[in-house]
């Protein structure tokens, strides 16, 4: 009897880094579940692309900040696939406008905390029994560069608090679930912007980024290839790690490296 393929659930995967992750995991032969909130057309187009490659895929609308929608999501996934072997918690609300903490509404604080911490914990809780029963599982959280240092990030107080809390949870859950064959890690992308989120490394290799110590912008592939590596069988010894994939960029205290590189070139 042919063994069922493993199933990867990637939240917020209609576009951007989530989309690149879904494509990478599907290329490894994992059946995939996509989630979206507003990008229905993009999610279903991506599902069709993945299905055309011979991998089972479905797209489900689910806001991870809403417990009832998490429950509906998991019920549908379990009905169609049995369970989740790989959970990539990519989705997470972010308010780009810079504000002091006192300028947030209570509703915004609650939504950011639920979408970036509590909803993630709830999803993890829902998938763990299935992973334990199979003696194998991969959980990936998303953070931000230098999140493990728990530094002050003015104008990002709520988002930073949620993600820094997730750092501690990642490390704790990794220790607790290691005996069951489940690894838990956090990916911390750099400031990967716009179309670059869906580009490959070769597409950005010759572009310049004056803020990045590496000298080029990041791409979606920079992130998805690390996630793919963590999801391999032989990556079972890698757990509880907070991985910056940033080209050396510090998002909290960015610097311009153009002059530095120019000086180095002269020498």
User: How far lies 166's CA from each of 20, 54, 106, 185, 258, in Å?
Assistant: 23, 35, 20, 10, 34
Query: Sign of dihedral through CA atoms 204, 223, 157, 95?
Result: positive
Instruction: Note down the domain range covering 38.
Output: 7-202+218-254
Q: What percent of the chain has pLDDT over 70?
A: 93
pLDDT tens digits, 81-104: 999 999 999 999 999 999 999 999
263 found inside a domain: no
1 found inside a domain: no
211 found inside a domain: no
Rounded to 10 degrees, what is the CA torsion of 158, 108, 143, 236? 120
pLDDT average, residue stretch 225-250: 94
Terminal C-alpha separation, the chain = 64
Query: Does residue 249 carry a pLDDT above 90?
Result: no
264 found inside a domain: no
pLDDT average, residue stretch 63-78: 97
Distance (Å, rounded) from C-alpha 50 to C-alpha 135? 27
Least confident of 7-11, 59-63, 96-100: 96-100
Query: Does residue 1 carry a pLDDT above 80?
Result: no
> 34: closest CA among 24, 43, 45?
43
CATH code of 249's domain: 3.40.50.720
58 found inside a domain: yes
Contact 155, 97 (CB under 8 A): no
213 found inside a domain: no
21 found inside a domain: yes
In the chain, how many domains are there? 1
pLDDT tens digits, 159-197: 999 999 999 999 999 999 999 999 999 999 988 889 999
């Amino acid at each position: 009897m042919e063994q069922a393929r493993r199933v990867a659930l990637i939240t917020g995967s209609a576009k951007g880094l989530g989309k690149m992750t879904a494509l990478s995991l599907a290329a490894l032969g994992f059946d995939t579940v996509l989630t979206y909130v507003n990008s229905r057309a993009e999610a279903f187009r991506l599902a069709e692309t993945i299905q055309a490659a011979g991998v089972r895929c479905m797209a489900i609308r689910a806001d991870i900040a809403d417990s009832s929608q998490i429950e509906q999501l998991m019920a549908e996934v379990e009905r169609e696939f049995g369970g989740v072997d790989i959970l990539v918690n990519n989705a997470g609300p972010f308010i780009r406008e810079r504000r002091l903490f006192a300028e947030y509404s209570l509703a915004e604080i609650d939504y950011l905390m639920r979408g970036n911490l509590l909803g993630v914990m709830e999803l993890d809780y829902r998938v763990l029994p299935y992973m334990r029963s199979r003696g194998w599982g991969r959980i990936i959280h998303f953070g931000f560069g230098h999140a493990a240092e728990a530094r002050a990030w003015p104008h990002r107080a709520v988002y930073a608090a949620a993600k820094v809390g997730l750092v501690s949870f990642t490390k704790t859950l990794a220790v607790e679930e290691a005996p069951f064959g489940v690894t838990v890690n956090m990916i911390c992308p750099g400031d990967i912007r716009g179309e670059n989120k869906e580009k490959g490394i070769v597409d950005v290799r010759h572009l310049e980024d004056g803020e990045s110590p590496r000298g080029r912008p990041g791409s979606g592939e920079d992130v998805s290839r690390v996630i793919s590596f963590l999801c391999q069988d032989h990556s079972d010894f890698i757990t509880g790690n907070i991985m910056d994939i940033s080209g050396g960029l510090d998002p909290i205290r960015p610097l311009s490296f153009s002059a530095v590189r120019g000086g180095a070139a002269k020498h």
